[in-house]
Structure 1
């Protein structure tokens, strides 16, 4: 049995790919592939999180169960996907800025070794990772985490200081190569896979030449907020309780759809900041490209960037008032009001069965 373990990275079309694989289980089985995910989930993220929190047992039991099912179905290859497997020690601890890169990478090695130990010896492993140009990865990851996470309340440059080591792809992927072996690891450039990452995965990873039989889906996953709404949410984030951050994220997604003339300027770095970042990361990018025989990352021209750059002017008073108006209207909807009350009640009943029931009740409104 073979295992293809897709580890991300974040913001490289992983969610769309996972939805596609989940929806095409029957079609994949005709090629001998079995897509493994927990019941009622479309990816391995919850299992990946358990590697950090609970050790490797949950992953091991999950994999053994899926191996049995794959063998029953006559499959020769299991596919498992979780972008949370990339930079686990940094990402899953919510970018703990107090830990140095050396500490984080040492922890990362332990987690990857723990993962490898949970995979039966007879299973042939192949680890796959898509990466995009680091400055674009930074900006997309920043937008996503301001949108989703109340812990991210600083500007993009502050976020860069928190996650800088995550942009050093060669350093992280070298750990995977050390643990799984060079021949078991491959990297693909996200931009080179466009405009259709799913087709790239089917053809170049799975070796499926005829893809006409697969269900094609238009999955618009993890859409970013417009710049003004994101800026407004960023300023609010430090005041949002952790327990309510998912609720707030859904409210702002609806607010964003109501905004007139949204600002879509998502260049969070100035041309000179971008050039400096890429210059610092160039040795890592070149080592990755050389060792894995990759095409070059998209070229960056400082002169062209300076000529076209328009800095974000900031959140105007008029736009702030418009966002506040829509935010208040959306959060007053009965579903959101009840859900917030249930979350707040659950926070007062820690450690009791009532809390669990209250949290389960909130899922009815999500």
Structure 2
């Protein structure tokens, strides 16, 4: 029998599609599709048929097969095409092939501009995966044309297994959507068009909108005290901040919604680096590729977007948390207080102090210490003195290397200085000190 599977990709409007399909199950049946029921959260966000994806990810193919078997039987009894949706299936090609072997499988997906996808992945890492990195640091780690999560390579793997006719991928871009809505665009892929499509119930508000910049920054700060091993608090915070963001987004016009700003040089390198991937996707896989798709729309060079006070919105988002989940906020304040008491302010990341400021938790500011004389300046002074010998040059070079964290190199240099001046007490002390520091460093590395 025929099976249609929507696999995402992640952060390409899947929640909106799933909410739409769930609300129109009876209408879908009229046009030949059986869409199994699934749950949504308090903000109407869901993972679609996440139970299937979770079973596959956990390696429980027996449970996954039972789910699939039940859905197939139900669809067959009604003489309908089975339609399922889950981003968790995005990279699970072999499992999908095994579970639906013998059936006529059609794969539906959307592909987002890689630069926008990277920024969206950063948001998701903070929202759901306890990420703490600022965007610039995240891009430095992930921004590579070889990133299979965003460059489209996954779709070519689907094509290899199921064939080019069975894999349909469209650009995730409002200018490419039918009637500017992804829900209508998805119906178009299902073959439901014109007056038939307009008979479906369409939610006017957006589902699972991106966090506002202030909400995203607040969640990043809170991730310094949220515990990944006790995710309940994080789920509560996410639910509250999603509600805050949805309301804020609904009040803003499209022109008022600030794009994400990225360092101009970094953005230019990203755009150029992903050009080959975009060209290959356009020429071999994508349907209905518009000109807008070639440039990121929601990401702009820093300094070109509208100015807005992110910090003011951080305080607004925190006020919303206090009103919505006061008990959780109190627990997080207690955890933050304990963290502040465990270390001096100078030993804590700046983000922790920023969070304390937002939450109104007292803390002592780092003391303003006088800058120590530069090791390099001291080395230069010593080397330029009229009495400096080869051992002195090597000693000062070792000091500079040690200050830069290059302990192994410092040890090698100071050993050479000690060979030249075996009774030099200053050189001996430095040599022993570097050896001890190197030993501690090795011990810490093995424990980590």
CA contact 1:255–1:326 (8 Å) conserved in 2? yes
Determine the structure 2 residue equivalent to 1:189.
Answer: 171
Residue 85 (structure 2) aligned to one of 78, 81, 88: 81
CA distance in structure 2 between the partners assigned to 1:305 and 1:218 by the alignment: 27
Partner of 2:56: 51
CA distance in 2, matches of 1:252, 1:163: 27
Paired residue for 1:118, among 81, 96, 99?
Answer: 99
- Is the CA contact 1:139–1:266 (under 8 Å) kept in the aligned structure 2? no
Is 1:248 matched up with 2:237?
Answer: yes
1:166–1:269 distance in 2 versus 1, CA, 3 Å: farther
Q: Is the 8 A contact 1:38 1:44 kept in 2?
A: yes
Matched, 1:170 2:152: yes
Cα pair 1:56 1:115 within 8 Å, conserved: no
Are 1:156 and 1:268, in contact at CA under 8 Å, matched by a contact in 2? no
Question: What is residue 74 of structure 2 aligned with on the other side?
Answer: 69
Task: Indicate the residue corresponding to 1:298 in structure 2.
Answer: 293
- The residue that corresponds to 2:225 in the other structure is 239
Taking the TM superposition and a 5 Å limit, the aligned residue runs for 1:82-121 are 82-87=86-91, 111-121=92-102
| Pairwise CA distance, 1:127 | 1.0
* Counterpart among 255, 269, 272 of residue 279 in structure 1: 272
Question: Which residue pairs with 1:106 in the alignment?
Answer: none
Tell me how far apart the structure 1 counterparts of residues 152 and 296 of structure 2 sit (CA, whole Å). 23
Q: How far off is 1:250 after superposition?
A: 2.2
Larger RCO (CA under 8 A, 6+ residues apart):
1
Whether the aligned pair in 2 keeps the contact of 1:22 and 1:42 (CA below 8 Å) is no
Q: Higher mean Cα deviation, 63-72 or 153-162?
A: 153-162
Q: Find the structure with the greater CA-based Rg.
A: 2
Does the aligned pair in 1 maintain the 2:264–2:301 contact within 8 Å? Answer: yes
Q: Normalised by the size of structure 1, how large is the TM-score?
A: 0.73
TM-score under structure 2 normalisation? 0.60
Candidates 136, 159, 174, aligned match of 2:138: 159
- Alignment length (residue pairs): 309
Match of 1:215 in 2: 201
Match of 1:15 in 2: 15
Give the superposition deviation at 1:218.
Answer: 2.7
Hey, what does 1:137 align to over in structure 2? 117
Taking only aligned residues, the RMSD between alpha carbons, in angstroms, comes to 3.4
Quote the Cα distance in structure 1 between the aligned partners of 2:247 and 2:84.
Answer: 37
